[in-house]
Structure 1
């Protein structure tokens, strides 16, 4: 089933915040009929009406896909009202952190369910999303979920749901770590005498350019070594950054572990 085939039965999107909105914009850009979409959101954004997307009125009786894009803390309150929409062979697709396939299976018995974790670069079509389905999700349902999620970037499939906590901690939360790295790099440049605006411009462009270079496929360690001259300025900085006790490696390890543990807590 492709996006064009959803136009007959429709798609129900629950939550149209940053992630739900990014997904919806991607689907519309790829040809999904706005009239086939129904959004449930307590404060629907104004652009929905301008795009021809419904956010009021009767829900579709048997949508092809039910997409859950609300915060995990809200899920328990939302799911009971959606049980009817989740019947009739609908694919249930969740992008909520921490909420497990079993939790959705209890709300939608017998449904094909796919759990996914996108990240915020999805807002500009540069995200990466990890997904995994339950036993009811066959090849057709997984392919449909991947088609929907690929509207905002790259998609990878997991082999075990237990991997989702690590995915959440690395790529789901990872953009915030990178943004803080930009803040810290700009602050350090300012401390060394650069004007604040210039320091921020340099930090932003450096992280963006390094990220683009990293996507070339070369090993990150090789890329690092290529810009590190013996006894040069980069080597002096890396000596601090790569300290085995207080460097970036141990710090990022603790950061990711804390985020993964919180993801596990949300799923309990």
Structure 2
């Protein structure tokens, strides 16, 4: 029974894709629906599904970055990109991707994708390491179009409210319904979830290293790889270390 991960941050589109997949491919088991790139990568690394449907633009890691990291975490996973890009992007996908789906996904087009995936799954040897080749083929054709990045944050420290310059943040960590903001001067709490921050932080500076942790790369003193495949970050201005989960180590090596 084939299994898949769906990564789509727009809930209505994710639900619509699930409904259409249930019709076009009834035996497909949708294991998880991820709403951001980090969650998608961890789901792929954990489940090692046969197929992953990845939206190109997601909070945190893009679909391309997830595919590149998944090449190590789950090299046999076949990747289908979901995109709203124009024809120039589609041309790049055609050179390497298993398939692409343009939003909104139509039943006829999805049926073609399902037929193509079934053919690939029938011959497992043809798709070993496919995610890595997809990422290499299309990586040079796109720059991630970031939203306007955050500059300042308003956070709580006890009864006081602090204005924190984003460049001064060493890392963010999910803390129940809040997000802990760690700086050299101490900690504060944000009332917004860490997933919302992923949409607004500059991806060239802030990188997700765990489902619950985002680090400022400028504040990283060193990266150590552990025997388990996980990593350990030593920080500038803070005594603690941060754990990098195994799937995200591939992202660090690519920097």
TM-score by length of 1: 0.30
Higher helix share: 1
Higher strand share: 2
TM-score by length of 2: 0.31
Give 1 or 2 for the bigger CA radius of gyration.
1
